[in-house]
Every structure is written in structure tokens, then in C-alpha cells.
Amino acid sequence: MEHLYAFQDYAVYKDEDHGTWKELNSRQSGMRGASISDEYLKGFEQLALSDHRIVNIAELSERMAAISGWTLVPVHGLIPTRDFFYMLINKRYPVTVSIRKPWEIDFAEQPDIFHDVYGHLPLLTNEKFYRFLTAYSIIALKYVNNERAVEFLGRLYWYTYEMGVIRENGKLKPYGGAIITSREEMDNLANPAIPKHEFDVEKIFETPYNPFKLQNEYFIINSFDDLFNSLEDLETKLIAHLLLPEHDQALHNYSLNPRLSKGYNNVIGFLNDTQFRFPDAISFVAGQPDEQFFEIQDHLDKFDLYVDYLCAKQGTTDRKKVINKIGQYNKTKGIANEIIAEQLRKDENIHLTADNLLVTVGAQEAFAVIVSTICDRGKDVILVEDPSYIGLSNFCKIFDYDLEGVPVDEEGIGLAALKKKIMEVNSSGKRVKLLYVIPDYQNPTGACMPIGSRLKLLELANKYNFLIIEDSVYNSFTYLQKKHPTLKSLDRYQRVIYVGSYAKSLFPGLRIGLIGADQKIENEAGNIVPLIDEMVKVKAQITNNTPTINQAILAGVLLDLDCSLHEWNRKKFESYKYKRDVLLYALDRHIAAYRHEWSGQITWNSPDGGFFMKITLPFDVGDEDVVSCAENFGVMFSPMRYFYLKSGGLNEIRITFSNLSPQEIETGIERLARYFRTRIGQLNAEEKKTALQYH
Ligand SMILES: Cc1ncc(COP(=O)(O)O)c(C=O)c1O
Ligand SMILES: [Fe+2]
């Protein structure tokens, strides 16, 4: 520790330095007449400082030793926290040997001999105060390796020894050295607008300070006993504070994946916030299944059925053992694959083996697994319908995979545009590896691909050597007599990777989806390997395996229904169809009926399945319109532009009807019509104005 010590070479001070001391001293004595703590002044008198010469530290140290047992240590400036506390414990106080320069008279950033002596030494003659100080240091020393603790304890030092205020005879007077040695801080303290709190250690811990600015607040003690008494539970309070989460302590200079703030589409966040602000607005926003139909309690009970099934299969009656095996780390591919394969065969006419399936955490994880297994960043391109569901494209954006959009019309992806895009990409040095399509009742447009297009699409995939991700989540939700065949069921070239989800057919909280892939691929080493097994490697690194309890519940439900959800879900399909009809009827009465008045340019599609409808408007809509419509008309919609890769659909909106009651749909459309009518009225007024200008 010796290296910390300085030597006060008294001969080094120039006349100019003694002049600075004298000037500071005379300013100080002017202030002393004002209100400074009596306790401080008492100590100050005892120090008997010279008013025109810089104090000799060794001499002063001897005087102090005689008064209160403290000695002084000459130092060059701020010393390490740990050494500082050590000194205080030993009743030694560091005093800076240098003095500020003449131009720093009003404000010196670093402590100097004047600050240390005038600011801090008088109170070291006060036993109550210095007992507080040494006891504080003993505690503080235990926490020097903990930055937050040092920060909190530093605040206590700051709001007492530097910025402390004491109530004496009903008057507030400073005893803190940094107030007493600063004219401006004295004035600041006298300002009634600056808050002064009663001394409270916890509040002090929570109050940061800026040493280079005037204080925003002060803390008052009634006597130095307050300080000493606060030591009793100081450590308990400190620990409690250290255990609190570091709220409002933001990380700076700590960058995140820049793609999260660049083109990332946070519409879900925005729409949720808006819904939260206007809870009474009827929302055509969320693409949720109707929760009236959830039968969760019943499904949970089906867990046992799956256990029965396994017991029978394994020829055991030891249920506990079988259940524990379910709860153990398990196969990445999944444990319900055989049963799921059977359901796909019965409901979807898809013939995949259990081995061709990978059970995922929703369709969302399937997208992540497929893209990361197949695509080489920077070289491979993923094509998506534009607009499309953002689950896959947002994943690609965050993880920096190349995306390109292909326009969608009423009949799904435009095949001519697709072909053009493939040529364009493949001749650019990159390569189309994947195409993501939602052939049935697409989210967000409700578009549905006719069978002819499906067959043609498969041919294109074969011809241009890419694979298709078929997102089939709405395939069963048809309002026609018969479902469309999935791409996978038509896939003679093994070009389709099937993605399914039980989020809509059972309930989203189950978080079970699946990948069905029967392709074999020649890998880098020249070996022919099943594609699905390569995906298993990736999935293992993301989630290890899909929660087995959920898989067991799903398996139990499927077993109970003889591996077919179709009939069982019929009442849901019928209910969604009824809602779709209510929606169309409401649109007819509230909008189409006024074709000749104001609604002539508003059009919509009539989806034969799924949850979504597209409405085209004669005006553009964006974020502000969502908010103002929710606020003034009590109804919410999603602007279609949110679902475009870059831009598009400025004058289109998406309407979701799945989780609203027929009454809400009726009222919601009535409100929406009023909003449209108002907007069109304003448009017409604008048109008239422009017309007038030109005549
Ligand atoms: C087209 C489409 N695919 C996938 C999903 C999400 O499926 P999961 O909940 O299984 O991740 C949705 C949800 O809205 C969707 O609309
Ligand atoms: Fe200080």
C-alpha cells in the first residue's frame, strides 16, 4: 500500500498556490457566516487552519491525532476503493497534496487539498460521525469486489459525507464537504424547488448521482445518531438490494443481432399494444382458433390412454415405469410418430412412415429446422409467397437467409411470376433451394390453389431442382364438400416437405407441429442420407425433443379418435363456415348495399375455408389508421402491407373472423363500414377541393 502515499514537499508550492488557498479560504469564511452545520463548524475551529498558507499535512495530522486519534495520509489523488476503506478503518484519512489551478477556483473536477481539508477533516473530530464512517468502511470492505454493492454504498457516502444535510434547530444546514466547499451547491441547497428527503438508506441506495452536476435531491439527518443507527441493518438492506433485479439499468455499448431492428416485422407487438389500448374495439386481427371449442381438460385425461397403449404394446403392467420413460430425455424425432403417421394417412391421404416424421414445437419450429438444415447463407435463396404468413420470413430475416417474394393472387402463388423469379435468381450466382407456400386458404389473403396449379408447381420444383415447404395448417378447414389434395399427397417427385400443426385442429398451447419429409439427399461426403435425419441433427440443437408429455397427450387424443380428427372436427368447420357466412352477409348489408353511393370501389374475396379474408379499399391504410379506427370506430383490422416482404398491399386489409362471435362479426362490420364511409367521404371532399383548384 506504500506506493499510494505521496510526500508533501512543502517547498514545491508556489506563491500562486498559497494565493489560491488564501482566495478559497476567504470565500469560505464568507460562507461560514451563512448556515453551515454547527457540528461541522465546531470541528473546523479545532483544526486551527492557516488562512493564507496551504496547510502542512504532517502538522495537521499531529493536531488531529491529539483531538480525535485520526491521522492524515498524503496522497496524489483518488485512491483505489479498497485502500480507501482500509485507511478509514484505521482512522487514517487521505489528503491530496496538490491544489487546484487558479482557473479551477470555482470548480475543480478532482479533489484537491482544499476540498479534502475543508470538506472532510472537520467532521473527523466528531466522534459520532467518525464512528459511523469507520463502521461503514468495515462493512464496505466486505463488498469491494461487487460493483453494484460499491455503487450502492458509494451513494450512501455521497449523500452523507459529500452532500449530507442536517436539521439543526429546525434549520437545514449542510455537513457534507462537497456542499460546504461549493458556493453553487450551497445555493442549490437553498433552492426550495430541489427536493430534500428524510434520511432513508434504502432510498439512497436507489438514488444515483452525478458528481459533475448540481444535485437533484438531498437527504436530511436529524443528528449524527441517525447515521450511526442506520448501520444496524445496513447490510441486510444492502443484500436485499443486491438481490433485486437490476431494473432500469440498461446495457449500453452492447449491440444485439442488428436484424432484429432492421427489416424485422414487429407487427404482432404493435397490434397487441393497440388492442390493449382499446380493449373494447372488436378485433378482426388475431388469427386464432375459436377457443370455445377447446377441450383441454378432456385432452389431458387422454394421457392415460396413451400409457395404456404403450403398456399393451410393450406387454407390461408397470404403468409407472412406462410413464417415467415418457418423462425421460427422448428421441429427437418424436415419440408419437406412428400414431401421427396413421392420422396423416387417414385424414390427409399422405403416406409417410413414422420414420419420415419429425415432431416439432409447432409449425414455427419446423420452419426454423427446415431452413437451417437446407440453406447455405449467402448462396441459397428461399422464395415465399408475397404477401405471406410472417413466421418463416421473419425467421429468415433474423438469421440472415436470403428471401425473395413471388406475388399471390386469388389462386395462390403466380406460376408465371414464380418461373421468372427462379430464372432470375438462378442466373444471379445464387440458387433457389426452397419455396414456402400455403396452398390452402392462405394467411393473409385467403387464397387457395386449384389442383391444376398444384400439379404444375410440383413439375416446376422437379424441373428447377428445389424443394417446396407446404404449410398445410388450414387444409382441413374447408367449407366445401371436399378438401383440396395437399401437395404432399400429389408429390410423385418427392419435392414436398410437409409442415403440419395441431394448433388449429386441437389448440395452440399444445405446441405440436410436424415435418413430413421422405427425400433422400446426397450429402457433401457423397453419401445418400435421409433428409429428415439431417433435420433431426438441427432440431436436437434447438429443442432436443418436443415436450414428450404434450406428445403423449396428442397421441392419446388421436388414439381415442381412431387416428382421425376429421369427423371430430366437423362441428368446428361448420361453425367457422357459419361465421364466414355471417361475415359475407354483413358485408353485403353494410357495404355492398351502398355500391352506388360510396362503396363502389370496395371489394373482397369469399374464402372457401380458413380464417382470413382480404378487403381492397380505394385508400391506403397504415399504422395510424389502425389506431384511429380502433379509437374512433371501435374496430381493428390488419393492414395487408404488414405481410409483404418489402412493400405492397397499401390499400388492402386482412380480416380474421375465426375467434369472434357472429354478433361481434355483425357489429364489427357495421363499425368498419362506418369507418370506410368516413374515409371515402374525406377522399371525395379532397377530390372536390382539387377539382375546384383547377377550374
Ligand atoms: C399459415 C400459418 N402457418 C403456421 C402458423 C403457426 O403454427 P404453429 O402455432 O403450429 O407454430 C400459423 C398461425 O397463425 C399460420 O397462420
Ligand atoms: Fe470528497
- What is the DSSP code string of 256-300? --GGGTSS---HHHHHHHHHHH-TTSEE-------GGG--HHHHH
Ligand nearest to the CA of 436: 1
Ligand 2: centre distance to CA 93 (Å): 11
Cβ of 174 less than 6 Å from ligand 1: no
**Is residue 391 within 6 Å of ligand 1 at its C-beta?**
yes
Minimum CA distance residue for ligand 1 atom 5: 363
Query: What residue owns the CA closest to ligand 1's atom 6?
Result: 363
Find the 55 Cα to ligand 1 centroid distance in Å.
Answer: 78
User: Ligand 1, closest atom to CA 438?
Assistant: 1
Q: How far is CA 94 from CA 5, 7, 135, 537, 642, in A?
A: 9, 12, 17, 63, 64
Q: Which of 443, 445, 448, 510 to mutate to test the pocket of ligand 1 (most atoms within 8 A of CB)?
A: 443
Question: How far is residue 127's CA from residue 91's CA, in Å, rounded to a whole number?
Answer: 11
CB of 389 sitting under 6 A from ligand 1: yes
At a CB cut-off of 8 Å and minimum separation 6, what does 567 contact? 561
* Beta carbon of 362 within 6 Å of any ligand 1 atom: yes
Query: Among 364, 470, 554, which is best to mutate for testing ligand 1, by the most ligand atoms less than 8 A from CB?
Result: 364
Q: For residue 246, what pLDDT is reported?
A: 67
CA 505 to chain centre: 30
Cell of 229: 443507527
Residues 6 or more apart from 510 whose CB is under 8 A from it?
Answer: 299, 502, 503, 550, 553, 554
pLDDT score for 692: 55
Is the C-beta atom of 442 inside 6 A of ligand 1?
no
* Cis peptide bond upstream of 530, omega within 30: no
Which grid cell is 628? 384511429
> In CATH terms, is domain 267-284+571-693 a member of 2.40.440.10?
no
Give the model's pLDDT for residue 600: 94
What's the CA-to-centroid distance between 277 and ligand 2, angstroms? 49
Pick 2-243's CATH classification: 3.20.10.10, 1.10.800.10, 3.40.50.2000, 1.10.3720.10. 1.10.800.10
Ligand 1, atom 16: nearest CA belongs to which residue?
443
CA–centroid distance, 268 to ligand 1, in Å, is 13
What residue ranges do the domains of the chain occupy?
Answer: 2-243, 267-284+571-693, 292-560
Helices (H), 427-495: 451-463
Residues of the chain with pLDDT under 70: 1-3, 31-34, 246-249, 262-263, 265, 687-695
Among 361, 389, 476, name the best residue to mutate to test ligand 1's pocket (greatest count of ligand atoms within 8 A of Cβ): 389
Relative to beta strand 652-656, strand 638-639 is antiparallel
- Which residues lie closer than 8 Å to 95 by C-beta, 6 or more apart? 57, 72, 73, 74, 75, 113, 116, 117, 121
Q: According to the model, what pLDDT value does residue 184 have?
A: 85
Closest atom of ligand 1 to CA, residue 388: 1
Q: Which ligand is nearest to the CA of 367?
A: 1
Cβ(43) to ligand 1 under 6 A?
no
Q: How far is the CA of 408 from the centre of ligand 2 (A)?
A: 70
CATH node for 292-560:
3.40.640.10
Q: Are 494 and 395 in contact (CB under 8 A)?
A: no
What per-residue confidence (pLDDT) applies to 1? 45
Count CB neighbours of 186 within 10 A: 16
For atom 7 of ligand 1, which residue has the closest CA? 363
Assess whether the C-beta atom of 503 lies below 6 angstroms from ligand 1: yes
CB count within 10 Å of CB 4 equals 16
**For a substitution probing ligand 1, which of 501, 612, 658 has the most ligand atoms within 8 Å of its CB?**
501
CA dist 331 to 160, 321, 514, 539, 561, Å? 62, 17, 14, 11, 25
The reported pLDDT for the residue numbered 14 is 94
Burial 480-508 (b: 16+ CB within 10 A, else e): eeebbbbbbbbbeebbbbbbbbbbbbbbe
**Interior/surface letters 252-279, b for 16+ CB within 10 angstroms, e for the rest:** eeeeeeeeeeeeeeebeeebeebbeebe
- Taking the CA of 287 as reference, the closest ligand is 1
Which ligand is nearest the CA of 392, by number?
A: 1
Task: Specify whether the CB–CB gap between 636 and 282 falls below 8 A.
Answer: yes
How many angstroms separate the alpha carbon of residue 116 from the centre of ligand 2? 6
Distance CA 123, CA 129 (A): 7
The answer, yes or no, to whether any atom of ligand 1 lies below 6 A from the CB of 438, is yes
- In 3D space, the residue among 277, 288, 289, 279 whose CA is nearest the CA of residue 623 turns out to be 277
